[in-house]
Chain A
Amino acid sequence: MQYIKNSKISTDEWVHVGPEGELPAQGNLIVPLARWQASRDELLARKAPIGLQLASSEPPELIRDDLGRFDLIALEFPMFKDGRAYSYARLLREQYGFKGELRAVGNVLYDQFSFMHRCGFDAYEVQKDADAQRFATALSEFTVRYQPDPDGSPSAIELRHQPHRNVKSAGSRP
C-alpha cells in the first residue's frame, strides 16, 4: 500500500479506525460513518483533526450538515466498477465546497487515477506499488479533455473558442 498526496508518494499521517473498539488517544483518525454517528462527542472532544470515510452506499448528503467538522473525507471504491464515489467527489467539491483532503480508498488502481483526479480527489491509498510509482504518468496520458474539470482545466470546447486559455499541465491541482 502506498499513499499519494498531491501527485507524490507521501507519508500518511492518518490512521483508520473501525466502527467499534477504543479510540486511540493520539493521532488523526479516519472513522467510518457509523463511528462518527455513534461517537461524535468523543471524537470532537479529542481536539484532533477528524477524517470521515464513506462507503459507496453512503452519499455525502448524509453528512452535509457536519461537513465543517472534517479535515478529510475518504470515499471508498469497493470494486473497480463501482463508480458512485466519482459523483460523490464532485458533489463534495463543487456543490458542498469541501476544501479538505479528498481521499480515494479501496480498489484504487492505475487506470482510475486520471478519472479520480479529474473529479476532485487529491489523495489516494494505492494498492499496487507499481501503480503508485507511475501516478504522474497516469495523469499525463491525456492532454485533451472533452469535459470541463472541477479544477478549472479547460475542455476542448473552451480551448477551441478561448485559445488564450492554455492547457494546464496535468496534475497541477493546487
Chain B
Amino acid sequence: MASETVAFYLFGAIAIAASLLVIAQRNPIYSVLLLIASFGALSGLYVLLDAPFVAVTQIIVYAGAIMVLFLFVVMLLNAPHEDTEYDERVHPLMRPGPMRFGAALALLLVAELWWALGRGGDSGGFPAGAVASVGAIGRSLFTDYGFAFEVTSILILVAMVGAVVLARREERR
C-alpha cells in the first residue's frame, strides 16, 4: 500500500513538472519531448488505477504516434524559436499581460477545484476488485458503444482527408 502511495506522488510530480516545463520552454522540440515524459508518467498513473489497456494505449498512440507527428512537424517547419525580437528578449512566461491573465486563470481554476473537492469530504479509497479487464472493455466497445465506434472510424477518415487537403501545396497555374 505504501509503495502505491509513493508511486502516485512520484508519477504525479513528474507529470506536473514535465507539463510545467512544456509551457515554459522556448524551443518546441524540447516541449514535445517533455510532453512525452509527462505522458509516460500519466501512463504509470493509469497502471496504478488498474487500467493497463489505457496505459498501453497512452504509450503507443499518444507518446508513439501523436507526439511523433508533432515532432515531425516541428522539424519540418524548422522554426524552433518564437521569432520576434520581443520574444527573444522577454521570456514568454514573464510578459505582463499573458502572465497576469493566464496565471490568474490557472490559479483560480486550481483553487476552485481544490475548494470543491475539499468540501465534498473524504471520497474514500477505491472499491477492491471490480477491475475492468481488456476483454470486458472490448466487449462493451463493440456492443454498447458499437455505433460510436463506427462513427469514430468515419471521423478518422474525414480527419485524414482533411489533413491531406489542407496541407497540399497549391498548384501554380
Q: Do A and B come from one complex?
A: no
